Amino acid sequence: MFLIPVGQKIFLSYIHSLERTPVQDVFLLQGGQIWLYEERVKSHNAGLPAFDQYPGSLVKTEDWLIFRGGRRHWMNIRCRVGNAAIGKNILTIGKTNHELYYRYPEQPVCLFVVLKSIL
């Protein structure tokens, strides 16, 4: 369990299984759900976004293609965790990296929100 303040961005980074390219998903926690704020990719071939996600935008930087918006949200997200050779899934909360591929190699994990008071 991770204590994450509402509105805090969390990052899920991994190496795409087909393209072998870095991907970074940026999520916000709001209203008991996980909202995809943006998805950053290095390429846009098989299995990766290739166009703006309505309503949203595409921003191209020197390092990333960034798909922002789209209003996609979920109650939970199931992830296949890879290992040190394939996947390298890292969950970043604030300034702390949680190497999921090291802690849970080749296991599924589920990210979900539980609203709790910190008092």
Residue 52's pLDDT is 54
* 3-class state of residue 59 by DSSP: strand
Distance CA 112, CA 89 (A): 17
Distance CA 119, CA 112 (A): 21
Per-residue pLDDT tens digits for 26-77: 999 888 889 999 989 887 765 555 555 567 788 888 998 888 887 889 999 9
Residue 46's pLDDT is 52
Distance CA 34, CA 1 (A): 15
**Phi-psi label, residue 31: left if phi above 0, alpha if psi -120 to 50, beta otherwise:** left
Q: Specify which residues 67 forms β-bridges with.
A: 39, 58
* HSE-up (13 A, CA, CB side) for residue 90: 14
